[in-house]
Amino acid sequence: MQTSSPSARTAFDAIVIGGGLVGAAIGYGLQRQGLDTLLLDEGDIAHRASRGNFGLIWVQSKGLGAPHYQRWTRGSASEWPALAEDLQARTGIDTRRQQPGGVTFCLGEEEFERRSEYMAQMQAEAGNFGFEYRMIRAAEARDMLPGIGPEVTGISWTPYDGHASPLHLLRALHEGFTGLGGSYLPNAGVADSTAAPNDFSVHAAGRRFTAPRVVLAAGLGNAALAPRFGLSSPVVPERGQILVTERAQTLLPMPTVSLRQTAEGSLMIGDSKENAGLDTVTQSPEIMRSMARRAVRCFPWIADLNVVRAWSALRVMAPDGLPIYDQSEQFPGAFTANCHSGVTLAGTHANRLAPMIAAGALDPELSLFSARRFDVPATA
């Protein structure tokens, strides 16, 4: 990853803490807005969801009961083409973005019924904003997705979904950021800080840096950082495991929520969810087995492919699973950004959230994402 050292400079327009997908997208957006930005990033000991994720730009299951999240996610999917083009033009890096739509498989009649209700409710909640989808029976789905197995009763489909290479995206954001003059400092965990309205000082890598704006984008690290800036980021880890097969000829024309084919031909199998604390070392064979089994029930030909890699990584999860965006009331100029969909939301983070932060205020549409939603009245 390209490193642009802040050399002897210590004063910036903005400091972003955390160089994962969220911090890099916001830093890139801030730098594009003309803010001289410093991106501070901890070392390899950190839990970095951005280097272990599945790579979906996923819309169709996001925001049931939270139409603002559905709109924000859809907005990001629609920003993605411009972001990918912009990154490619500036850095030459192809994020491997494809947005051909996506599907969720239903195995058995009960799953099909449940999914139908889910999608109908998503559409009802979308209101005038609209939500295009289809529930498609197996006979027709076979024409769209050759090779699906006999246990598949049908699929849900929306045109909004897609996928990209998360590592190419991360690299492109970093190179785009430094190419625009942004300063990236790795191995710089923020150990200490002081906060005053529009006046922040952070201590990292043995140096002190100042700026009138600070953005907390440190993933799971935000939980500890936020209170120092008058913010709250009650995020906890949720472990996900991923299996990768050997490369195959192109067989999957679009991603599913738990299966996608990379541009290089590997199949990625994922979507497990576990509470395992901060453990990313121990694998759960029974979970891997059930992920692989479901993939084979969807596409029996997958059974002939060898699994060549497996890993687990930690999602950055708020109590209700939605993102958290806030500006500190106590220390205006301090912002926090937390989410478990850093690939999907890269479009809005770079193209919409960063300009709001540069302008010094979050749009009212983001007020529902404030951590204040978790405040519980002291007495009834």
**Residue ranges binding ligand FAD (CB under 6 A):** 17-23, 40-42, 46-50, 52-56, 58, 189-190, 217-219, 221, 225, 240, 242, 270, 313-316, 339-344
229: Cβ contacts below 8 Å, ≥ 6 apart: 193, 195, 200, 214, 216, 328, 331, 334, 336
Minimum separation from the CB atom of position 140 to ligand FAD (A) = 26
**Closer residue to ligand FAD (CB): 17 or 231:** 17
**Closer residue to ligand FAD (CB): 149 or 255:** 255
Minimum separation from the CB atom of position 104 to ligand FAD (A) = 13
Strands (E), 130-235: 134-137, 152-158, 162-163, 183-185, 190-196, 199-204, 207-211, 213-216
**Closer residue to ligand FAD (CB): 26 or 138:** 26
**Closer residue to ligand FAD (CB): 297 or 315:** 315
**Closer residue to ligand FAD (CB): 35 or 41:** 41
Strands (E), 250-340: 259-261, 266-269, 307-317, 324-327, 334-338
| Residue listed under structure tokens 């959230």 | 353
- In angstroms, the CA 272 to CA 208 distance is 41
Phi-psi category of residue 212: left, alpha or beta, with phi > 0 → left and psi -120 to 50 → alpha: alpha
**Closer residue to ligand FAD (CB): 153 or 344:** 344
Minimum separation from the CB atom of position 78 to ligand FAD (A) = 15
**Closer residue to ligand FAD (CB): 153 or 183:** 183
Q: Give, in degrees to the nearest 5, the angle at Cα 346 between 341 and 349.
A: 105
Instruction: Tell me which DSSP letter residue 206 carries.
Output: T
Minimum separation from the CB atom of position 292 to ligand FAD (A) = 15
**Closer residue to ligand FAD (CB): 168 or 315:** 315
Minimum separation from the CB atom of position 345 to ligand FAD (A) = 6
**Closer residue to ligand FAD (CB): 19 or 29:** 19
Residue 124, H or E segment: helix 109-126
Minimum separation from the CB atom of position 158 to ligand FAD (A) = 15
Question: Do residues 135 and 123 make contact, with C-beta atoms less than 8 angstroms apart?
Answer: no
Output 167-170 pairs: Cβ under 8 A, ≥24 positions apart.
Answer: 167/51, 168/93, 168/94, 168/95, 168/96, 169/21, 169/87, 169/95, 169/343, 169/346, 170/20, 170/21, 170/24, 170/50, 170/51
Q: Give, in degrees to the nearest 5, the angle at Cα 368 between 366 and 371.
A: 100
Alpha-carbon distances of 198 from 189, 204, 228, rounded to whole Å: 22, 19, 14
Minimum separation from the CB atom of position 53 to ligand FAD (A) = 3
Minimum separation from the CB atom of position 98 to ligand FAD (A) = 13
Minimum separation from the CB atom of position 348 to ligand FAD (A) = 11
- In angstroms, the CA 117 to CA 69 distance is 19
